[in-house]
Amino acid sequence: MLSFKDCTLAGLEKMFHLKQVRDQADLAYWLQSADDITEFERQTLLNLREKLILGGYDWNEMELELKFIGPLLTLVDYTSEQFNLFAERDFRGVVEGIELGGKPDGMIASGLREPEQPYFCFQEYKKTKDPEGDPAAQALAAMLVAQELNEHRHPVYGAYIIGRDWCFMTLHGRQYAMSEPYVATRDDLFDIFRILKVLKQMIIEWAKTS
């Protein structure tokens, strides 16, 4: 089995004939779609941003997850009867005869107690100083597995996070695209939150048809 943590973008591109593209309609639609932010959400985001500005540079991965990413994802609220946010769950599958697997830091899937059908969002959380591995490749490897499990019916959506920087990804067929970083210590945080809320609405629609 090829572990997610051992993957690199160059290796995945050669192994699975992938191509990175600069413009992809799925990514553009996701990043540009609108969603409202309430005053309560805005004030909560400002509080989280202040904590990230003050101490985020020195946080390790667990501190980043506990103090910033977790509260942010809780504010979006991916928990429902149809799908949930899962963390560090074993996830694997076979892509073109090669088994890929690992434990993504976060994934959204159908299921209440255990993940069942993946709903295309995977994240790798890395500390700012001396991050280990290739987070973009780790996220992309998990997205490839999700693509197989979903029988290529939909584009696959994902994200990776390094400290304050959030990058969003889409995979469609054998082409993938990555956004420029959104910096959570700036007003980009409101865009990050909007994008995550848009993702929730997309997942609600997918869940209705699955």
Taking only the tens place, the pLDDT of each residue in 197-207 is 999 999 999 88
CATH of domain 2-209: 3.90.1570
**Residue percentage of the chain with pLDDT more than 70:** 98
pLDDT at 190 over 80: yes
Give the per-residue pLDDT at 126.
Answer: 79
Return d(Cα 144, Cα 100) in angstroms, integer: 9
Q: Please enumerate in sequence order all residues whose Cβ is within 8 A of that of 18, keeping only pairs 6 or more positions apart, or say none.
A: 12, 140, 174, 175, 176
pLDDT at 150 over 90: no
**pTM given for the model:** 0.94
Per domain, the residue ranges of the chain are: 2-209
**Degrees, nearest 5: CA angle 210-118-111:** 75
